[in-house]
Each structure stands twice: as structure tokens, then as C-alpha cells.
Chain A
Amino acid sequence: MEDGNFLTDDFLRQLINVGEVDILVGLPTHNNAKTVGSVVHTIRTGILRSFPRERAVIINADGGSRDGTPELITGVSIDDVRRDSGVYALRTLHAISTKYASTPQSEVAMRTILAAAELLRAKACIVMSPESESITPEWVTNLVRPVYSDSFDLVSPTYHRHKFDGLLMTNLLYPMVRALYGVKIREAYMPEFGFSGRLGSQFLGQNRWNDGIGENGTELRLTLAAVTGGFRICQSFLGKKDPVERRAADLVPTLRHSVGVLFSALESDFNAWSTVSGSQEVPAFGADPEVALDPLRVNRKRLRDMFVRGVSELESVFQTILAASTLVELKRIAGLGEEEFRYPAELWVRTVYEFAAAFQKSVISRDHIIQALAPLFRGRVYTFVVENRNGSANDVANNIESLCLEFERLKPYLLEIWKSKQ
């Protein structure tokens, strides 16, 4: 068992009172008072409707909220649910909260939830996002049921999203995980997902949690652990995903938590992914995820400008990361006019792979490597937006598919540069 000293006495006492459960819902929060009330209400409705006989608990891991978020979660009464949704509660549905730190650290929040799941011997666990405004009770059902009734170990969500939403996922994370690990998981880095107690325990025990950085991206690592550990994985359609408000300054932290984590994992998982070729579908539940095509205003010029500036200003950095030919090609396309500018798939894949290899060798500080990727990613986003601005859902899907195939095709290249200069 994991060293449980990081759980507070009070939380442990609350866990004792809850006892063994069948379903555990983890809710990591930080100042989410605006949305968490209705999210919790929806979660309760979902559990009471679909799993009325099961013992369930909502575990809130809070990172020092100052707006009363934990009180909103523990204070929602069963009677409110009954009044509003007409659902009858057969048994007590616990909601407990613990403050794991004074500032939000996603890794510690996940660790808290995993530890609670292990102590309470939960069979099926889900983690929900406290900010989700489009969540419905069916989301809970769709994440829990594959684990609880069909014995899957990981349920990755799929959503109805806008074609330009989540481009880091579609242009890097999804194709790279697919190419390297051999599984077609669309949302490897997910705000809500389900997992079995078995997977949770294994992940909790195997991981080195005291790396000291408190890095985020535990969800991604859980996905990769499920893949490399031979666990049963499936995807389940939830619904429309809220586009989370993002600012330009958020791209680098996002890259750290997603791409940085992926690159780190490649090192430890080398034996697993180096021998995989091709990719497999995973079982899917629910509707096929759809792509929304409504027009969206995008500041394309800014994307390209940042790419061009990045290539020029960061040349000295790129020299230590990229192959000479790749850098030359990047400089060439940076010099193209707005109409001709394109960041082709093959070049993008090579770029990403060379970054991954440089990351593994720590040619410079790893964090700097990740930061250096940001302007290049913007260039890729520009190209994707331009190529798909008038495309149908099918076109978009086909473009993503061909990008994935490119990642798969160039995997030997990654292996080659990975092993060189060892």
C-alpha cells in the first residue's frame, strides 16, 4: 500500500465512516463555486438513476478554494435531488471533502482520489471536471457502466466537439499516442474519465509520486499506464464538450502538462512502445463523436506571426533540438507568404519526433524544449485551420486520419534518432 501519511486524519476519519463503496466519484476542485453546485447535483442524479442500489461516494479533493467550493459539494442534500429530478435515494450517498494543499496541484489531487479509491475498495471510479457546464446524468452512467458492468479498466471519453477545438489533441497527442502505443484513444488527456479499482491501485502503487515537481498530467499517465499494463480500455461517448476559455498565455503550461508528460513517459515506456507497430481500435460505447462545423473566428494572422517570430528568434535553441534539415525546412516555410504558408504533416511529425528525442536526451533543459515547441505548434494550428476551414466533418476526420498515419509511418525515424547518440 502507498504511504498514507499524506492523507489528513480528518479525511481518513471521513473515509472510515463511508466504508466500502461500489462507485467512487472523484472531483478535484479549486475555486469552482460558480459551476460545481450544478455539477454535483447532476452527478447525484446520474448515480441515483442508474445505480440506485450501489454504494457510492463523491470525494472532493480541493486545492485551497476560497469561495466555498467544498461546502457546496458536501452541502447538497439528497432531498434537493429528489425534489428537482424526482429520483428516490435508496441509501445514503456520501459526499466528503478534503483540502490536500493550499494551492492546486493536479497530481496531488489525483493521488488523493486514487488513495481514497483503494482504501474504500471502490470497484468503479470516475473523475469529473467541476467546470463542466454541459454535463448530464448520462455522463456518469456512460463512464461508470463499462467499468462496473462490463469489466473495463479505463473508460476514455469522446465528445461532440468543434473541429477547431482541442487541436493539440488531434494534431499531436492523439496521433502520437496512437502511433507509438498502438491504441486509438482520441482523448488521452481527459478532464473526465472512468477507471477500475484494479487499475487505480496498480497506478497508485507503481508510480513515483515523490518526484517533487507536482507535475500535472496524471490523467495522461494513467492512460499510458493502462495501455502498457495490458488493461482493458474502451471509449464512451459523453456529449458536447464545453470549450474551456483559454488565453494565449495558457499554451505553454498546457504543453507542459500534456506533451511534457508524454515525452517523459516515452522514456520509461520505451520497451513497451518501441516494439508496437500499427494501431488498434478500442471498443466504443454510445454514439460516434461528431464534429461541429459552425464558423469560428480565429486570429490566423497572429498564429502565423508567432510561428515566424519563433523560428527566427529561437534558431539557436532549435539548433540544439532539431536536425539540420528540419530546421532548414522550417526556415524555408517561415519565409513563405501568408497564402503559400503551410506546415505539412510530414514536417510536423518530424519536428515532434525530434523534439521527443531531444527531450529524452535532455540536450538542454527539458522545460525549455517544451517551451520551444509552442511557436511551432501555432504554425501547425494555422495550417490545420486553413486546410479545414471549409471542410465537412468527413474531411476533417480524413485529415486527422492521414496525420495519424503519417505519425505511424515515421515511427521508425523516431526509433532511429532515439537510439543514436546514446
Chain B
Amino acid sequence: MNPTTKDALWYKDAIIYQVHVRTFNDSNGDGIGDFLGLEKKLDYLQELGVNAIWLMPFFPSPLRDDGYDIADYDSVHPSYGTLEDFRKVLDSAHQRGIRVIIEMVLNHTSDQHPWFQEARISQDNHRRNWYVWSDTDTQFKDTRIIFLDTEKSNWAWDPASKSFYWHRFFSHQPDLNYDNPAVREHMWNVMKFWLEMGVDGFRLDAVPYLIEREGTNCENLPETHAIIKELRRRLDEQFPGRMLLAEANQWPADLRPYFGDSDEFHMAFHFPLMPRMFMGLKLEDRKPITEILQQTPEIPPSCQWSLFLRNHDELTLEMVTDIERDYMYDMYAQDRTMRLNLGIRRRLAPLLNNDRRRIELMNSMLMSLPGTPIIYYGDEIAMGDNISLGDRNGVRTPMQWTGGWNAGFSSAEPEKLYAPLIHDPVYGYPAVNVAAQRESEHSLFHWMQRIIAVRKSSAVFGRGSIEFLYPANHRILAYLRRLGNESVLMVNNLSSAAQAVELDLRRYKGNVLIEMFGNNLFPRVGELPYLLTLGPYQSYWFRLRRV
């Protein structure tokens, strides 16, 4: 069925492109992106060099949480097309060697889902037990509220059935009750449906919150892990080579259990690393980055971290200390409207003040630190954001293909677009678009192409070990990646000023350094510390070769 599924560990070599169907390309002129539009742009993705796409939720939904409030698991939202259209996307992607990962929101549904509508009818309804109900809102008191800016409680009152229902997210997203075997069975069948169609993996949204228990914080409970193990077992049995990616915004030590003994998730997002990369950049100090990676536990050999710079959500500052959070706010979000739910809702380019060098540096680290990189759509051309759109919609504006009508996204009238385009002089679509960047040799798009190609040239990036060097100059982040006989050296200057650094490479004495972008030779490593000078925000990728 799936021609690309040959290597069971393909996700370690993947370069994932995160995209929402709605935002990418509109094929039928209704102002909303769709599957057929996406299918037309798969060549672009192939040109960029990515080999996997992660599609955000495209299920039928009232869209009160951008599709994460699902009203029907077995279909697609009519705005985006039909199931047949989706199948077409799958096949086209596979033909281009691109795998497809889709969302699966296990934890909750939309309150418009027929299950919930039924459950509300009465306390005796057969779907009643599919959700978590209570007569009072005092249970599970120790549980934190995730959407702090909008929700005051994890319980919501249902006037219809005159009781409270549990929701970890928006109140219109009631949590499913995973203590009910019927729920577990049905959700596996949902996954199976899509797997049989050919999807290569799932990003399982909000997994830490599946199970609730009194006296706990209702996160990361053993029962939750048991459920995941069961899912994984069935997956391996019936669909080997498919992948499960965990979305769990936790400290690394708390994330580790989600890999289990290679019997839970294949991949998990390394949430705590991401804000620290931004922090290290502002501090001009590698300490936050090296510290968090030092604290990151070893994971089973078949498992993989997933790294990202930005995504559809706010840049979360949940997994940092108060001091760090205040610093990040002061440095990156002085304007309070940029702040949301203990995070910052901005795209990559605006966060970095559209500084090309910093954008390159961050991507260089993304592509070379241990893990599978995920590129958020539009960041490869340094798209901007629109905070006034509310919630997190500012970072989910239409893809900018050209400088022409509707940025080439849609033929519809501009007022009909699902969201307005970015217009400002700096990030607006006349200035920032794919077509223009294709024409410009030195564009960010071409640079991203180049770095993706270099990354793909060696398995060491996806599968190798990491060893940090700690040169005395704290502004330099340097590390070695090794896989078998192959070694590569990454040197990153986090400072806005030129730097000199001496690296202790004595163990590699006799190796010649080959810079990986130009394939030029650098001096051989000797007894003395290896001196390098770097321009502001510059990074080097070296292959170590002993001739």
C-alpha cells in the first residue's frame, strides 16, 4: 500500500513540514485552502527537500479551535474537499517520496460531535460514559488550567444534562473518558481507518491528559501510558513502519516515559528545548541550550526527539522558570498583546526581527541538533504574522506564493479568504513570497533548500550521538555528531558580534575539517586548540575526515 514504508526508522531521517490544509492553497476559489490545492503544491515541497508533511486537523469541526475540536473522525471537512481528495494527496505525496502524518486528537472531541450530543441527552444514554461527568466541579482540584486566558475551570456546566463535564482545553472540547473500554476500542478503529488509507503516522494531540485520577494532577498517569502501549502494540502488529508522535508539553524527565521501552511513542516533541534556543540567542550564551540537553534523558535507540522552532501554537513558556519567562517576555514580547497563555504568539521571522542571520542560525541548530526537525509552513520564506487576528490565528495566515492576487493563494475575492493576508511593507506578500524567492539566488528559500540537502546527505544528523564541546567562550555552541565512523562538528556563534573560539579537538588529531556547504578544506586538527573565528550569528558545519 505504502511504497515509502521500507525503513522502519524513516522518521529519524525525516524533515517534516507542518502545514494546515486550510492555509496552503485554494483550488476552488472559495477562499479556503483545500486538499486539491495542497496536492498541486507538493512539487514545491519536493523542491524544498522535505520528505514528510504533518497535516493539521482537517476533520469536520465547528472550527472553534482551528480543527482540534473534532466533530467526526471518519471524514474530512467539506471546506477542504472530500475523502477522495485526501486520498489523492496521499498518493501524490507518496509518489514524490513524501510521507504523510496526520493529527489525531484522542483526548477530546468537539461538543458538536454526535457522541457528546447523545451523551448530554440523559444520564442513562449509552454514550454518557464516553465523557467524564460530575455533579460538582470540585473533583481533580490539583489539575492546572491550560488555556489560562480563556478558561477559569476544567469543569464546564452542561445545562442540558445538569451536570459538569471535564475539559482540559476549551469548554467546547469535552474530554473523552478513556476509562471506558468502548472509547479505547473505538478510537483505535478510528486510527485504523486512516492507517488503512495509507497515512504514515499520527501526531497524537494532548496525550498526557487521557486519564484522570483524584489526588493527582491528571497528567502523565500510569493508566495513560498503558493505553498508549496498547495502541502501539496494535500499530506494530497491523501496521509496521507507521509512526506515533506525542504532543506532550512536559519536562524532559516527564517526557521520557512516553517512549516507554520502545513500546509507546516513536517520537515526542522536545518542548523545553525550543524556548531555550531563543533564550540562548538573546542572552548570547549557550548555557540554556546545553543545560536542557544535558538534563534530557537517554531515549531508546529506536525513538526520536522532534525539534521545532515555531508551530501553530504560541511559543510556549510553560516549561521554563519564572525568571526565564520574564526574560523571554521582556526580550521577545514587550507588547503584551503578543502574549497568550504563558507563551508568545509570533512567527519565527518577527520574533527574530526579520534578521536573516539569526533565522539561518536558528535553522542551522534545528537541522543539526539531535532530533527530527519540523518546519512550520511559511517559515522557510520568513513569513510574518498578524497578532490582531486573535488567539493564535495570527500565525495561521494564507501561504504567500506570489506577489499578485491574494498572494497566489486563492482566486476568490480577498474578503472571502478564511483569514486576511499579511500586508505590511516588511512581511507583506508583495515582499515575501515563494515566487520572488525562487528568483533570488540568495533567498531564504534557497538557503533552506541547501541546508536541507546537506542534512539529508548524511544519516548522522538524524541518527547520530551528540557530544557537546564546552569552549571557554560561552557564546559559542559547539557539538559533535557521530554515527559509526562518521563525525561532524557544528559550531554556532550565538553572539551579535564576531567571535574567536578555541576548540579542544585533540581526540580528532589528524582529521581534516571539510566545511559541508562549500566542501572546502579547513586546516587539519593538531595538538593545539583549534582556532576558529566566526562572524555574527554564523555557524559552521564540518565533516571530519581522516585522510
User: Are any A and B Cβ atoms less than 8 Å apart in their complex?
Assistant: yes
B323 and A17 form a contact (CB under 8 A): no
B275-294 interface (Cβ within 8 A of A)? 279, 283, 285-288
Q: Tell me if A90 and B323 are in contact (CB < 8 A).
A: yes
Q: Is B321 touching A91 in the complex (CB atoms < 8 A)?
A: no
A92 touches B (CB below 8 Å) = yes
Which of A17, A88, A90 has a CB less than 8 Å from the CB of B471? A17
**Is B160 positioned at the interface, with any CB of A under 8 Å from its CB?**
no
Is B473 among interface residues, defined by CB-CB distance under 8 A?
yes
Is A14 touching B323 in the complex (CB atoms < 8 A)? no
B474/A17 in contact, CB under 8 A: yes
Name the residue of chain B whose CB is nearest to the CB of A17. Answer: B472
**Interface pair B321/A92, CB less than 8 Å apart:** no
Residues in B whose Cβ lies below 8 Å from that of A261: none
Are B471's CB and A91's CB within 8 A?
no
CB-CB contacts of B242-277 with A at 8 A, as 1s and 0s? 000000000000000000000000000000000000
B interface footprint on A91-129 (CB within 8 Å = 1, 0 otherwise) = 110100000000000000000000000000000000000
- Closest A residue to B499 using CB positions: A19
* Docked CA distance A16–B285 (Å): 14
Least CB distance from B286 to A in Å reads: 8
Is A19 in contact with B327, judged by CB distance below 8 angstroms?
no
Give the CA-CA distance A52 to B474 in the complex, in Å: 16
Cβ A88 vs Cβ B495 within 8 A: no
In the assembled complex, the Cα of A89 lies from the Cα of B497 at a distance in Å of 23
Measured between beta carbons, the chain A residues less than 8 angstroms from B287 are: 89-92
B493-547 CB contacts (< 8 Å) to partner A: 495, 497, 499-502
Interface readout for A2-32 with B: 1 if CB under 8 Å, 0 if not? Answer: 0000000000011011010000000000000
Q: Closest approach, in angstroms, between the C-beta of B475 and any C-beta of chain A?
A: 6
CB distance from A206 to the nearest CB of B (A): 29
Q: Which residue of B lies closest to A79 (CB)?
A: B291
Q: In the complex, are the beta carbons of B327 and A53 less than 8 A apart?
A: yes
Chain A's nearest CB lies how many Å from the CB of B469?
Answer: 13
> Is A52 in contact with B323, judged by CB distance below 8 angstroms?
yes
> B324, B475, B502: which contacts A90 (Cβ < 8 A)?
B324
Q: Which residues of A contact B472 (CB under 8 A)?
A: 13-14, 17
Interface SS majority for chain A: loop
Interface size class of A (residues with CB under 8 A): 10 to 19
Contacts of B474 in A (CB 8 A): 17, 19, 91-92, 94
Residues of chain A with a CB closer than 8 A to B279's CB: 90
In the complex, what residue of chain B is closest to A52 when comparing beta carbons? B323
Give the contacts of B299-351 with A (CB-CB under 8 A): 321, 323-324, 327
Q: Smallest Cβ distance from B499 to chain A, in angstroms? A: 8
- The reply to whether B327 and A90 form a contact with Cβ atoms under 8 Å apart is yes
CA distance A89 to B501 in the complex (A): 23
Q: Are B471 and A92 in contact (CB under 8 A)?
A: no
Bound: A13/B502 CA distance, A: 10
* CA distance in complex: A11, B239 (Å): 61
Query: Is the beta-carbon distance between A91 and B323 smaller than 8 angstroms?
Result: no
Contact of A88 among B285, B323, B497, B501 (CB under 8 A): B323
Interface contact B285-A91, CB-CB below 8 Å: yes
Task: Give the CA-CA distance A25 to B286 in the complex, in Å.
Answer: 22
Known: A89-B287, A90-B283, A92-B285. A16 touches B500 (CB 8 A): yes
Residues of B within 8 A of A52 (CB): 323, 327
Q: What is the CB-to-nearest-CB distance from B103 to chain A, in angstroms, rounded to a whole number?
A: 35
A91 to B494, CA, bound (A): 13
Q: How far is the CA of A88 from the CA of B287 in the complex (A)?
A: 12
Nearest B residue to A48, CB-CB: B323
Residues of B with C-beta under 8 A to A92 = 285-287, 474
- Output the least CB separation between B491 and chain A (Å): 14
Contact (Cβ within 8 A) B321 A88: yes
**Could you tell me the distance in whole angstroms from the C-beta of A211 to the nearest C-beta in chain B?**
34
Interface bits A56-80 vs B (CB < 8 Å: 1, else 0): 0000000000000000000000000
Q: Mark B462-503, 1 if CB is under 8 A from A, else 0.
A: 000000000111110000000000000000000101011110
Q: Which residue of B lies closest to A19 (CB)?
A: B475
- Tell me the smallest distance from the CB of A82 to a CB of chain B, in Å: 10
Q: How far is the CB of B168 from chain A (nearest CB, A)?
A: 29
User: Could you say which residues of chain A place their CB within 8 Å of the CB of B327?
Assistant: 52-53, 90
When the two chains form their complex, are residues A19 and B495 in contact, meaning their CB atoms are under 8 A apart? yes
- The complex places the Cα of A11 from the Cα of B95 at a distance, in Å, of 60
Chain A residues in 8 Å Cβ range of B501: 17
- Residues of A352-367 whose CB lies within 8 A of B: none
Q: In the complex, how many angstroms separate the beta carbon of A53 from the nearest chain B beta carbon? A: 6
Q: How far is B276's CA from A91's CA once the two chains are assembled, in angstroms?
A: 11
Residue of A nearest to B476 (CB): A17
Max chain B Cβ within 10 angstroms of own Cβ: one of A14, A88, A92: A92
Which chain B positions have C-beta within 8 A of A19?
Answer: 473-475, 495, 497, 499
Shortest Cβ distance from B287 into A: residue: A92
Q: Which of A157-189 contact B (CB under 8 A)?
A: none
Q: How far is the CB of B40 from chain A (nearest CB, A)?
A: 47
Cα distance A52–B495 in the bound complex, in angstroms: 19
CB-CB under 8 A from B283, the residues of chain A are 53, 90-91
**Distance A53 CA – B283 CA, assembled complex (angstroms):** 8
A22-48 CB contact bits vs B (8 Å, 1 = yes)?
000000000000000000000000000
Report the Cα distance A88→B324, complex, angstroms.
9
Which residues of A sit under 8 angstroms from B500, Cβ to Cβ? 16
Separation of A170 and B287 alpha carbons in the complex (Å): 47
Closest A residue to B529 by CB, please name it: A13
A17 B321 Cβ-Cβ under 8 A: no
Complex interface: chain A residues within 8 A of B473 (CB): 16-17, 19
Q: How far is the CB of B283 from chain A (nearest CB, A)?
A: 5
Q: Complex: how many Å from CA A91 to CA B323?
A: 11
Complex alpha-carbon distance, A14 and B495, angstroms: 17
Name the distance in Å between A275's Cβ and chain B's nearest Cβ. 46
User: How many Å lie between the Cα of A14 and that of B497 in the bound state?
Assistant: 17
CB distance from A12 to the nearest CB of B (A): 12
Contacts of A90 in B (CB 8 A): 279, 283, 287-288, 323-324, 327
Say how far B461's CB is from chain A's closest CB, in angstroms: 27
Q: How many Å lie between the Cα of A73 and that of B503 in the bound state?
A: 24
- Taken together as a complex, chains A and B put the C-alpha atoms of A19 and B279 apart, in Å, by 18
B323: which A residues are within 8 A, CB to CB? Answer: 52, 88, 90
* Cα distance, A91 to B286, chains bound together (Å): 8
Complex CA–CA separation, A218 to B150 (angstroms): 62
List B residues 118-175 near A (Cβ within 8 Å).
none
Give the docked Cα–Cα distance between A121 and B323 (Å): 26
Return the chain B residue nearest A20 by Cβ.
B497
Cα(A52)–Cα(B323), bound, Å: 8
A13 contacts across to B, CB distance below 8 A: 472, 502
Q: How far is the CA of A89 from the CA of B279 in the complex (A)?
A: 13
Output the least CB separation between A24 and chain B (Å).
16
Complex Cα–Cα for A92 and B471 (A): 12
18 A-B residue pairs with CB within 8 Å: A13-B502, A14-B472, A17-B472, A17-B473, A17-B474, A53-B283, A53-B327, A88-B324, A90-B283, A90-B324, A90-B327, A91-B287, A91-B474, A92-B285, A92-B286, A92-B287, A92-B474, A94-B474
Q: Which 5 A-B pairs have the closest CB atoms?
A: A17-B472, A92-B474, A91-B285, A17-B473, A91-B283
List 11 other contacts, CB 8 Å, given A90-B287, A90-B323: A13-B472, A14-B472, A16-B473, A16-B500, A17-B501, A52-B327, A53-B327, A90-B283, A91-B287, A91-B474, A94-B474
Residue positions of A touching B, CB distance < 8 A: 13-14, 16-17, 19, 52-53, 88-92, 94
